[in-house]
Chain A
């Protein structure tokens, strides 16, 4: 029984989901908007509770495993989700309270987070696949949440179709792996998974499913369309939480089964990394719509993360987790600003941001810090995140990758500065008028900024991850 407590995070979240169902029934229509507060409050408690220490071990014969590393990956996701919930406060209350669909939003969202927990903690392919599907299918519902909007529905369909393709390919890969090794448990697979033509094909097919979730080129095509069509909070969720969870899952699984197969996945990831950052950047250069812009920027960022995965040692693992955490905060900051502006004014084009600093200096500053962090400019955290990734790659002699990466950082600097220029240096005849955000939204934005500043300045965080990764 004691063992069951290892699934504490999962149980608590499941409890919250069930509780929300009950709340939905009990609340009268008039009070429906209180769901926002209840759901956010419950998740805040869950996040805080999550930081309580948790043991290490496995359950169900190794299907489910947890260590401090797994646990803290979930904590990182939790913090991200919490910030997102705070930022979406006004959106949810204003837009959905009278339509009886508010609770749905939270239930679906939390279900996907639950799926991510299982992805991370999976000890075998079955558990992993279930987690992945739980984290993917409901997302389609989120993407199409704005049913009244044609684009939102279209994006939902696109997502589910593409997710279907990727799941099919991945499942095929898994079945091949099962055929080769006779097991679905990572530990057993690792022992008999050696380089053959078939095993190489199997592993690559399996990985393509994750590549889809991380939006690696050429598996990224859905990204901009879906981000643009989906409601902004959902785009934010996809670009941040969903991507980070998939990155965590990929690196964990590769560490468990990839040792004997480095000649297969390393060159694949090497070229994917180069393609992803370059193509993502080239597309981002030309975007005029902020959501599409951030979509391509997030594609490019994923390319950098691969550098750390390629390093394939504790340093690489640490830099990947560290960078992901920083990336979560940075992207939440930028998406948060885009979201509140989109909600208040409906404006989503880069030109609409001209002169933002004059009218809404605080928002402009939050955006500035987020963009600086994404661009990797000191002293904000993104600088360190990138630096560590480059160092881990350089340590394993991936100089070509480092050079291309650094060139890409310079390009990205250029287009991030475009937004900065619009906000700070350009004037506009019709600037976005000053508006005030509700306090939870302000807290959400403030938290992301604090994250950007503190993760860079405060080094024990990095050292703690390194210590976890070393085990």
Chain B
């Protein structure tokens, strides 16, 4: 069985990107939308065909699911052994991602036809969507770490274009830049990690990197840094890149701001695709993470995930902007996935975390896209992101209401909705490995149910808001994707996921432990109940409770001052005259040279100014002085002179 046809999954969106990008202006706006949607529908069907053939026709070879290279072409030869390939790799997780990305992308395309209706840059929007989709798809089928990095950056560029799509809005533009530069900063780690890994392992290739007798796992390298070997350091750095894209603490600061982009974009990028790229990266290199230095790096992954999920859940409880709640909720859920990978082993039951993580990635993609699209539908109707402008919408928007409710139940882990199955497995995996991590995640499960139902009741129940224009249900192109995703959310939990994706790629049967299931459902129901009491009816109870928590509530509402902490450090850096790390919070630099940073910058600038005076005498002096310094330094380094006399 060859998978040559998979190349069309990449070619179709590329063609659409070029076609609508170049000619979109000249044709009626609608056409570009429908072309994009049609091509993505085709790509989706091809992805399903791939999944069917891979899982059911190829099946198991010697009891495990094989890796198939549909394409693997040499792109550039760096040295004889170190080669850049471009290709398409088919294995359980890449097929999983193909299905997820094409499905969500297709639905977002369809949804956008209605949502972006009448927007000036209609064709541009669809062209960017295609660019993003193809970058993401090429990322997930990467055969080697160079290809993943290449498309990783391209995903960054296209998300920059999409988040900043409303370029009239200064907040959108600055959010786009923040997202781009923060993730780019994290990518520094990724890049250095790749360089280290490829040179010490001598290859970019995933298969070689993760194979048991490959250079990475067969060699034992001496520890070089904090007990980690050079490979451990490289993997940690690569994880930093992944944490940046996946908005893990403390590199998450870009995600809430990125909500300035159009809502369908959030559903695509910030729910199902780009933000899980970090999880995918860890899963892709999982045997290496697991094997190198006895899995030390996985502890980092697990704790980063746990802290992020708790941190984000707490903030999510206090936000009034419904898209921001969803953004923090995404961060929290991705924390779950990271944690699950972090506590996972390789074989059989020990690999439960890996399976659960991928399962959660799958279910989360569906219900979170549903939540975002539902939120978009609400925003479309009431023209506001803020919960205070909503209330009682169940009467006006029945489809949005029911589908949103299903998604909320799913994310809260209520059976039989899909989130229950995957979250339950994660909790079980955490319980077996580390009780503290389990306790954190268990608490987060309760918080999740609470904050999701807080916004659910706030939007669809609560006070009877009087609307200027009576809200109405969204058009079919928008409600159809909601219905499809809702159906998926109800049913995909029943997929015997262990039959498809496992760490060791062998067959694994999921057992649901009634104790664990009962406990996790219980805490979810408690969260829902508390939200019900506080927010079902308009009451002062909620304010009373938040007053009770006093200072803590304020801290959480101000996101624990994370942005301020960043600013503080950035200012400090400027003191030292090293402008480098400042780039990640751009507002200080953007406006900083004009007003923000004050006299320190002024002095610094003045110093530079003096240096570049325009006086030739001084230039010649610098020339000679520079040369002398170099000469003395070099002579000293070579031991030809020393300054001790």
Contact = CB atoms under 8 A, between A and B. Distances in A.
Interface in B571-624: 579-581, 583-584, 586, 589, 593, 605, 608, 612, 614, 616, 618-620, 622-624
Given A407-B580, A413-B181, A267 B75 contact: no
B476 interface: no
A426 to B, nearest CB: 9
Nearest to A169: B627
A222 B618 CA distance: 10
Interface stretch (A82-90, A204-212, A342-350, A432-440): A204-212
Interface string A153-164: 000011001100
B631 A200 contact: yes
Nearest to B74: A459
A157 B299 CA distance: 63
B1 interface: no
Contacts of A49: none
A26 B195 CA distance: 60
Contacts of B76: 384, 459, 462-463
Q: Which of A201, A212, A384, A408 has the most CB of B within 10 A?
A: A201
Given A200-B634, A285-B589, A406 B623 contact: no
Contact of A410 (B78, B185, B620, B635): B185
Contacts of A462: 76-77
A169 B157 CA distance: 46
Given A218-B622, A421-B173, A379 B630 contact: no
B188 interface: yes
B603 to A, nearest CB: 13
Nearest to B584: A410
A417 B177 contact: yes
A391 interface: yes
B551 interface: no
Given A315-B78, A378-B154, A200 B616 contact: no
How many chain B residues sit at the interface, stated as a range, is: 35 or more
Name A's interface SS.
helix
B625 A218 contact: yes
A414 B583 contact: yes
A11 interface: no
A195 B638 contact: yes
Contact of A200 (B580, B593, B625, B640): B640
A286 B581 CA distance: 16
B641 interface: yes
Interface string A232-269: 00000000000000000000000000000001100110
A111 interface: no
A425 interface: yes
How many chain A residues sit at the interface, stated as a range, is: 35 or more
Given A205-B627, A378-B153, A410-B580, A425 B634 contact: no
B586 A406 contact: no
Contacts of A165: 620, 623-624
B631 A204 contact: yes
B370 to A, nearest CB: 32
A402 interface: yes
Contact of A414 (B84, B586, B614): B586
B615 to A, nearest CB: 9
Contacts of B443: none
A421 B614 CA distance: 30
B192 interface: yes
A414 B181 contact: yes
Contacts of A225: 612, 614
B79 interface: yes
Interface in A205-231: 205, 208, 212, 217-219, 221-222, 224-225
Name B's interface SS.
helix
A391 B608 CA distance: 32
A218 B626 contact: yes
Contacts of A267: 633-634, 637
B583 A413 contact: yes
A238 to B, nearest CB: 16
A377 interface: yes
Nearest to B191: A406
A379 B195 contact: no
A440 B584 CA distance: 41
B8 interface: no
B261 interface: no
Nearest to A198: B640
Nearest to A283: B608
B608 A286 contact: yes
A388 B78 contact: yes
A395 interface: yes
A466 interface: yes
Interface in A366-418: 377-379, 383-384, 388, 390-391, 394-395, 399, 402-403, 406-408, 410-411, 413-414, 417
A271 B631 CA distance: 12
B396 interface: no
B626 A411 contact: no
Interface string B81-122: 000100000000000000000000000000000000000000
A303 to B, nearest CB: 14
B612 A394 contact: no
Interface in B48-96: 74-79, 84
A118 to B, nearest CB: 24
Nearest to A377: B157
A425 B167 contact: yes
B164 interface: yes
Nearest to A372: B157
B199 interface: yes
B181 A410 contact: yes
B364 interface: no
Q: Which of A388, A399, A414 has the most CB of B within 10 A?
A: A414
Contacts of A187: none
A286 B76 CA distance: 37
Contacts of B181: 410, 413-414
Interface in A408-455: 408, 410-411, 413-414, 417, 421, 424-425, 427
B192 A403 contact: yes
A390 B580 contact: no
B530 interface: no
A285 B635 CA distance: 34
Contact of B195 (A378, A391, A459): A391
A264 B77 contact: no
A279 to B, nearest CB: 9
Q: Which of A157, A212, A224, A410 has the most CB of B within 10 A?
A: A410
A271 B632 CA distance: 13
A44 interface: no
Interface in B191-242: 191-192, 195-196, 198-199
A417 B177 CA distance: 8
A155 to B, nearest CB: 10
Interface in B244-298: none
B109 to A, nearest CB: 23
A197 interface: yes
B519 to A, nearest CB: 45
B184 interface: yes
A196 interface: yes
A297 interface: no
A143 B605 CA distance: 28
Contacts of B151: 378
Contact of A197 (B79, B185, B637, B640): B640
25 contacts: A200-B631, A208-B627, A212-B623, A217-B626, A219-B627, A221-B618, A221-B619, A225-B612, A263-B634, A263-B638, A267-B634, A267-B637, A285-B593, A378-B150, A379-B154, A388-B78, A403-B192, A406-B191, A406-B192, A410-B583, A414-B181, A414-B586, A462-B76, A463-B77, A466-B77
Given A285-B579, A411-B580, A425-B173, 17 more contacts: A169-B624, A195-B640, A205-B631, A218-B623, A218-B625, A219-B622, A221-B622, A264-B634, A268-B633, A282-B579, A383-B153, A391-B195, A391-B198, A410-B584, A427-B168, A459-B74, A463-B76
Closest 5 CB pairs of A and B: A218-B626, A221-B619, A394-B195, A459-B76, A197-B640
